[in-house]
Amino acid sequence: MITFSFIARMPNDPGALHRAAAIIKSHGGNIRRVDYDRRIDPHTVFFEGDAPEGAPEAIRIDLQRVGYLQENLNTLRFLKFHVYLPDEPGELFSFLGHTTAVGVNIAFLDYDSGGKYPGRLTVSLTLENDQIADRLLQDLKHHYRLEILEYDSTGKRLDDTVFYIRFAQEIREIIGEAEDEFLMRLIQDSNHIAQELTSRDMDPRVVFDSILQTGHTLRQTTEGNFYADVQKVSFDDGAELYCFQMPCGGSVYVLQNGDERVMFDTGFGIYHWEVVDMLTRYGVDCARLSRIYITHADADHCGGAAMFDAPSVLHPGSMEIIRSSNRAYNSIMQSSVLGEVYTKLINLFSHFQPPTRVEVLPNVLMRMRGELPVIAEFEAAGRRFEVLESLGGHLHGQVFLLAPDEGLLFTGDSMINFESFTPERQEFSSLANTLMTSVNVDSDLARRERKALFNIAIGLDDQLKAKGRRLLICGGHGAISTLEGNKLVSYGETERYHSDPMHYPTK
């Protein structure tokens, strides 16, 4: 059996859906998923299923023959105007003959011969191209008095009868030009995640708005709009640690001394050149990076790795997530569409460039630190690090990087100072929660690993306090922090960096 999927655009008539299903059945097709929601778009239906070899193409041909197959996502035009009809029988019928003749879709009509403006008909139309609009208007001008109210060739003013075409056009604005076939697959994926979340009583429009907001926010925080919140920690031996909080997504860290500089996580790929410029401004030569240590495989932590020359060091589980393009890989959520589709969307919007030069960590138990396995050790910038393997609560393959003697702990997304988030970062991080219901693939395990990590941190911090020092917790998002009771508190000073040269660092 061959898997098929297609988008049907059908008239909102009794029996239309039944007719499409009959065509699929006639070729031996078995529908596995169908989604139609008139609240979103009264004409669009999504089908997925399987059929014998050769049957999917036959189904497409038959659907095309009856005019049900959505074959393109051409930008539609929106036209709104007043037309003044003579007070004669049949004039509305005659007017509609003109619109039918050129094949336009009427979105809105408003006419009341006994109202405030007798004889005035307000019309909104959707048209496939400028030529059809010109032909229609030239024809109507020979018969009626017209007032053009609005003409939009961008598609931004289209009504909800063509919701998915509007959605595709907004996606095009985010990712640039794309083939219709690619966009239609993306729309199917977006519809699938909306269908799943609607079954959990979520408003489907919130889902689509969250998808678009994710893409728009990333794009709008690049180039001259890029910024970061920066902390610098200096050590007695001359080493330096920088934390760069990206506009969206995870924090990027650089640790350097006179002999070596390493990076911990990379941020989104879409920020790569802004990150390089920023690091250069702070005296970090990216060409001299020796290693990039990746805490886990989410796009905001490894999505720029391939664009650096340095090799990336990561857990074998992270490589499997990258290969499968599914952040829910090897978890209880693996079969859920939410993790898989979110991974596709965020990778696309963020210009995902995962590691290509890779050093895979050995996944062999060396010893335990508290409740977490130590699976490797390494030295970087004069510090000895242990690699602690997570329990897989946030993501399979996540690791924590600990320099116990120096008081550094890189916690990935398992310990985060949320109070250090700006409102903009809080809003962006909430979008992933909306689209996946949780950023953790196993919430119970996530709580356990956070508690285990917290207990390790408390014990080390107590030991360091006796020496007049503190454990610095470097979360996957937010600021470098210290433990104050049960809370994470930002450490030292933070300044704002802007890519726009008109701005200067501010405290």
Distance between CA atoms of residues 455 and 452, nearest Å: 5
Over residues 200-204, the mean pLDDT reads 90
Return all residues near 178 (Cβ < 8 A) that are at least 6 apart.
171, 172
Chain centroid to Cα 5, Å, comes to 23
Judged against a pLDDT cut of 70, whether residue 159 lies above it is answered with: no
Distance between CA atoms of residues 23 and 184, nearest Å: 21
CA torsion through residues 369, 372, 377, 379, sign: negative
Q: In the prediction, which pLDDT does 41 show?
A: 83
Check: CB of residue 476 under 8 Å from CB of residue 250: yes
Judge whether 2-65 and 77-152 match in fold: yes
Judged against a pLDDT cut of 90, whether residue 9 lies above it is answered with: no
Q: In the prediction, which pLDDT does 365 show?
A: 96
Q: In the prediction, which pLDDT does 449 show?
A: 97
What is 77-152's CATH topology?
Alpha-Beta Plaits (3.30.70)
| pLDDT confidence tier of residue 73, bands split at 50, 70 and 90 | confident
Q: In the prediction, which pLDDT does 24 show?
A: 96
Q: In the prediction, which pLDDT does 112 show?
A: 82
Strands 472-474 and 408-410: parallel
Judged against a pLDDT cut of 80, whether residue 220 lies above it is answered with: yes
Judged against a pLDDT cut of 90, whether residue 229 lies above it is answered with: yes
Q: Single out the residue of 52, 47, 41 nearest to residue 11, CA to CA.
A: 41
Average pLDDT, the chain: 92
Return all residues near 88 (Cβ < 8 A) that are at least 6 apart.
none
- Long-range pairs for 57-64: beta carbons < 8 A, 24 or more residues apart: 58/27, 59/4, 59/6, 59/23, 59/24, 59/27, 59/29, 60/6, 62/23, 62/26, 62/27, 63/6, 63/8, 63/20, 63/23
Judged against a pLDDT cut of 90, whether residue 424 lies above it is answered with: yes
CA torsion through residues 88, 93, 99, 104, sign: positive
Distance between CA atoms of residues 390 and 318, nearest Å: 12
Report pLDDT digits (tens) over 411-420.
999 999 999 9
Task: Give the DSSP H or E segment for 23.
Answer: helix 16-26
Residue 344 pairs with which residues in a beta bridge? none
| pLDDT confidence tier of residue 477, bands split at 50, 70 and 90 | very high
Q: In the prediction, which pLDDT does 377 show?
A: 97
What token pair was written down for 406?
A: 């120096």
Judged against a pLDDT cut of 60, whether residue 108 lies above it is answered with: yes
Residue for token pair 């310990």: 415
Answer CATH for 223-498 from 3.60.15.10, 3.40.50.11540, 3.30.70.1520, 3.30.70.20: 3.60.15.10
> Can you point out the beta strands (E) in 319-371?
358-360, 367-369
Alpha helices, H only, 350-491: 423-436, 443-465
Q: In the prediction, which pLDDT does 507 show?
A: 52
Alpha helices, H only, 130-254: 130-141, 163-175, 180-198, 204-220
Over residues 433-442, the mean pLDDT reads 96
Segment among 168-177, 195-204, 246-255, 279-288 with least mean pLDDT: 168-177
Q: In the prediction, which pLDDT does 154 show?
A: 64
The one-letter amino acid at 69: L
Strands 399-403 and 408-410: antiparallel
Q: Single out the residue of 131, 124, 231 nearest to residue 475, CA to CA.
A: 231
| pLDDT confidence tier of residue 151, bands split at 50, 70 and 90 | confident
Q: Give percent of the chain with pLDDT exceeding 90.
A: 74
| pLDDT confidence tier of residue 161, bands split at 50, 70 and 90 | low
| pLDDT confidence tier of residue 78, bands split at 50, 70 and 90 | confident
Longest dimension (CA), the chain: 97
Q: In the prediction, which pLDDT does 83 show?
A: 92
Per 3-state DSSP, what percentage of the chain is helix, strand, and coil (rounded to 5)? Answer: 35, 25, 35
The structural domains of the chain, with segments of one domain joined by +, span 2-65, 77-152, 223-498
Q: Give percent of the chain with pLDDT exceeding 70.
A: 96
Architecture of domain 2-65: 2-Layer Sandwich (3.30)
CB atoms within 10 A of CB 177: 6
Region of 226 on the Ramachandran plot (φ > 0 left; ψ -120 to 50 alpha; else beta):
beta
Q: In the prediction, which pLDDT does 338 show?
A: 95
Judged against a pLDDT cut of 80, whether residue 501 lies above it is answered with: no
Residue for token pair 């993306």: 186
pTM: 0.85
